[in-house]
């Protein structure tokens, strides 16, 4: 009995350990360490930020620090918030039939819930997500209807912080008599410069891609799998949710309620094609 209880306790500890990493603890801890580690390096080395501090000019260092704090807060906001999980069936069969005359709503083979249009089951989260865009491994969360706009704002703020950090790191690189002395004097700063440079390129590409997708009212999943999605594959590359750049961006950033995409779809593809008003719950 003692041996059995020992194995049970070990199994419970292993399960808790796996669950901790499954919830994104390792990814978020890595992000936190990188963010504040690089920030500390920039303030400890002879960069523009450090020289401003020494001269008593605290405005630029304080602004940089606030941008880093804002980017960290946005990261955890997007990472931890509900991306738009489908929690229950969207209504009674009569209500759904009235709202969606044809075709009927799909039922998820995993959640056994009726999937609203533009939703998809995420294998990583094991949940269906409204207006599913993608599962972000760096966030360890899905990007969906509720957090997509905040994901885009995070990318913008993060890019500002990274480019500022890139400039500060370059300003701290000093000269040396030999390559060996130069590398010893700048090794830590060069490592930070490499990390910041790589992340700057990645974030810039992501920001441009998601701004483009937002401007045409399309998600990453729909863009990549257009030919396999039932409500898009027969549309000949036409996007039934696209109502023009300005209206798409307005709806993306400013409409915070759940959109009934079935009504938008049938309005666009039905008789009233010119009516682009978004219906909301």
Does the model's pTM come out above 0.75?
A: yes
3-state secondary structure 154-220: HHHHHHHHHHHHHHHHHHCCCCCCCHHHHHHHHHHHHHHHHHHHHHHHHHHHHHHHHHHHHHCCCCH
pLDDT in tens, 64-77: 999 999 999 999 99
* 160 burial via Cβ count (<10 Å: 0-12, 13-18, 19+): middle
Is it the case that residue 41 has pLDDT exceeding 90? yes
* Dist. CA 149–CA 168, nearest whole Å: 29
* Dist. CA 13–CA 16, nearest whole Å: 5
Is it the case that residue 12 has pLDDT exceeding 70? no
* Dist. CA 281–CA 257, nearest whole Å: 7
Q: Are 220 and 134 a contacting pair, CB within 8 Å?
A: yes
* Dist. CA 60–CA 52, nearest whole Å: 7
Cα 168 off chain centre by = 26
Name which of 146, 124, 127, 126 is nearest 135 in CA terms: 124
pLDDT in tens, 202-216: 999 999 999 999 999
Active-site pick, 108, 125, 128, 136 = 136
Residue written as token pair 């960290």: 72
Whether 142 is catalytic: no
Lowest mean pLDDT among 33-37, 199-203, 254-258, 266-270: 266-270
pLDDT band at 122 (very low <50, low <70, confident <90, very high): very high
According to DSSP, residue 14 is labeled: H
The average confidence (pLDDT) of the chain is 84
Q: Are 223 and 131 a contacting pair, CB within 8 Å?
A: no
Q: Terminal CA-to-CA distance of the chain, rounded, Å?
A: 57
């Amino acid at each position: 009995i003692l041996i059995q209880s020992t194995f049970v306790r070990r199994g419970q500890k292993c399960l808790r350990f796996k669950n901790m990493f499954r919830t994104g603890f390792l990814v978020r801890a890595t992000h936190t360490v990188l963010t504040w580690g690089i920030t500390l390096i920039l303030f400890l080395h002879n960069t523009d930020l450090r020289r401003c501090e020494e001269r008593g000019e605290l405005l630029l260092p304080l602004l940089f620090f606030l941008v880093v704090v804002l980017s960290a807060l946005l990261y955890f906001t997007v990472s931890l918030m509900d991306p738009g999980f489908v929690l229950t069936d969207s209504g009674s069969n009569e209500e759904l039939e009235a709202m969606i005359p044809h075709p009927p709503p799909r039922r998820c083979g995993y959640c056994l819930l009726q999937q609203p249009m533009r939703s998809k089951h995420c294998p990583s989260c094991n949940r269906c997500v409204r207006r599913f865009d993608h599962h972000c491994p760096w966030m360890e969360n899905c990007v969906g209807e509720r957090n997509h706009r905040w994901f885009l704002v995070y990318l913008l703020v993060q890019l500002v912080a990274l480019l500022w950090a890139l400039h500060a790191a370059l300003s701290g690189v000093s000269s040396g008599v030999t390559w060996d002395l130069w590398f010893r004097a700048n090794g830590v700063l060069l490592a930070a410069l490499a990390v910041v440079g790589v992340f700057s390129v990645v974030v810039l590409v992501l920001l441009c891609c998601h701004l483009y997708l937002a401007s045409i009212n399309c998600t990453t999943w729909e863009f990549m799998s257009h030919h396999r999605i039932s409500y898009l594959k027969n549309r000949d590359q036409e996007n039934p949710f696209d109502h023009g750049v300005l209206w798409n961006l307005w709806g993306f950033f400013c409409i915070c309620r759940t959109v009934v995409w079935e009504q938008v779809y049938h309005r666009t593809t039905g008789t009233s094609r010119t009516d682009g008003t978004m219906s909301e719950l």
